[in-house]
Structure 1
Amino acid sequence: MQWSLFVLILMGQCSFCLCRLYEYHFVEENKTWDEAQKYCRDKYTDLAKVFDMTDMKRLNDSARNQDEAWIGLHNQSNVDRTWLWSLPGVEFNDSETEWGDGEPTDKTSNQENCVFLHNHSWIDSMCSNKLPFICYDETKLKTFHLIKCATVSNGKWSSDECGNTKPFLCYDDEVILINENKTWEQALTYCRENHHELVSIIDSQEQKCIEEVAKQANSPYVWTGLRYTCTLGFWFWITDEAVKYDNWERHGDMDECHMSGAMETSGDHKWSKKDASMKFNFICIRE
């Protein structure tokens, strides 16, 4: 049985942060350390490496309360306690360790050359012991934005005006900006043929996330999945969500046939009612 865990590494303290997300898999099969290493290298990237002490806690949590699990730390045989990570090219940092009390216990015989997690601590052990283990998958590394507050003043994030707003995450791989100018219909067709759908925005959190994507456009607006129906006289998202949240320009054009919704790519990122024959960049929802 395998369990997946995403671990957050925050790059500094800020209102808007670029961060990395690593994926770990707990494998509930008893294997020797060498067998576990081979399994992880065959199916993922390698046995888990602890990138910082925040990882340490979450790696242990990923074991779903199992007593023990191999990680990718080991000591080369016949070498005087030189600890290495299984992941090639990654150096072991003595300042980022969390050995259990008295660990490593095998300081002379070089018999306990592999490390497992136990109660949030590292324990050295004989590599021939069989334990569950945790794999690391760098192919699933994801970049995301951590937005710590949703207050904007003069186009800048304000870290002291957050009020009760909670942090939230925006994942770069959920949507994609297409830097090509197309009509709304052409943009819709492109998204459906190459990805999934034109983007929809159902709340203020999604609005903030899409704003960050829209900033990279080379047109003054980006098309969204908003469409106006003359027959029924209302706006709707083509992904079938109701338009409950909105960010319209209050001085915008009146509703007319053949109109679609676009977002400003700068300023306050307000929504604007545009003739669907106009050509802008657009944002697709990925598959």
Structure 2
Amino acid sequence: MHFAHTHTHTHTHTLIEMHPHCSLSLSFCLSLSPALFFLCTPSLLSGVCGLSSSVPRQFHVVKEQKTWTEAQQYCREKFTDLATIDDMAEMEKIKSAVQDTGVGLAWIGLKQGRWQWSLADRGFYRENEAEFTNWDDGQPNGGNNEERDGEDCVANHDNKKWHNYPCNRQIPFLCYNGTNSTHPYVLVSPAKNWTDAQRYCREKHTDLASVRNQTENELIVKARGSHKGEVWIGLFRDAWEWSDGRSSSFHLWGPGEPNYVGSGQHGFCVEMKSSGLWNDESCNEHKNFICYEALPTVKVVSPQSPFCSGDAVTLRCDKPKYTDWHQYVWLKDNSTVPGKTNQTITITLPHEAGQYQCYRQRENSSVAPYRSRPANITFNDKLVLVGENKTWIEALQYCREHHVDLVSVSSKHIQRCVEGWAKGASSPHVWLGLRYSCVLGFWFWVNGDTVCCDNWAPGAERDPGCAARVGAVGRDGGQWSNLEETEELNFICTNERKSVSVYQGRNIWVCNIPFVTFPDEPLNVTF
């Protein structure tokens, strides 16, 4: 057309789900298992519960002692990742569930940011070069009680070794000049904090100095010349980052935290106390931990909504990255759809319209499955195929008496819906609300629209004069034909009313066709 505690043989989980259908007045909604809690957080957009991240998920409290890295690996293998916490409402519910398990201390997914170079171009670094370091003994360290933000920027000392310092420290710095292969490093003497030094290097040269190997570390010594003391290089870290890379800024530190006390050699990770407050701890400590699992979602592959009767709608169960996904289970209106175990399914409207969900079924797992949010698959129910054969005038009268009007095809969506309904007709063509004015010389719809876009079949007369001057859609192919209005066909009615405004003293132009001049006052007309 142009136109619950769950026990396995090795570990214990407590499952906590962020559920989209809890009433806002409920603290907990119990599922089939009394140890599974649905956590609700208010939604600004609707009267149901939802995550601020809009991603449905559940949490698992794992009572098994692991380092932070081991816990991260476990969560990524069994679920999605270590827990990311978005807001206080979510935190309170998780805290309550953790207290019920008697876990005490548990890792969450927050960790001191990793070291990275200001010059982030991956092509600049060969294998393992971005990980090169030359730390001095006892470095990097975490800061002290007077410097709560830690020491997240790196300087080179005159002994060739590296130290981390607070980024607001004012010291000279080394820039990298990518256009000078002989002398790539430039010492800049006016002292600046790390951020200002980075800005200067990017404006005047390429970036703050990256050091990819020991050879380049020696070149830095030469570039320093006679300068004694420390100079900034381009290595830094973000203060804290979530394991899954999400940008949640929610933190709930205990008094005096983070204090960066302990071994900084393995970095600092975050544990949650039974009080719900957070503390930084050496990542090498062994603790229980909390995982989260992103739930599957139902997505429409085709066609584009809104849907029509007759549409074949393809749905896909988008699952997170599970390593032990066994099979897909589909549900319609809370009942399992038999024989549907593939990732994609196709349903036909209107008979299979309804509320669809999918869930994961893990192999050799006693963990209960968790459903996706429901996807409500509905269709345009404003159209009705009448299977009686009538003349065009009789069809028009019938629709206006029992519905609203004969259907006017004013969009691609309505055309697609009309095609779907027409396939069920007993006549080879189906009447539309399309008529030709032999006085004005153009086609128009009975709801008042001019025919801007069309879908005429080959050979159809677009200028039939005063002969065959009404339109029908073919049962097969969905194209339009002009026919004698005395023919008797099935027809499509609409139950949708259309309101338009017309104005005085001006020609209404639609599709470059002057329509008619209306009188004095604006009139609200409902067709």
TM-score of the superposition, structure 2-length normalised? 0.26
Q: Between Structure 1 and Structure 2, which shows a larger proportion of strand residues?
A: 1
Larger relative contact order (Cα-Cα within 8 Å, sequence gap ≥ 6): 1
When Rg is computed on C-alpha atoms for both structures, the one with the higher figure is: 2
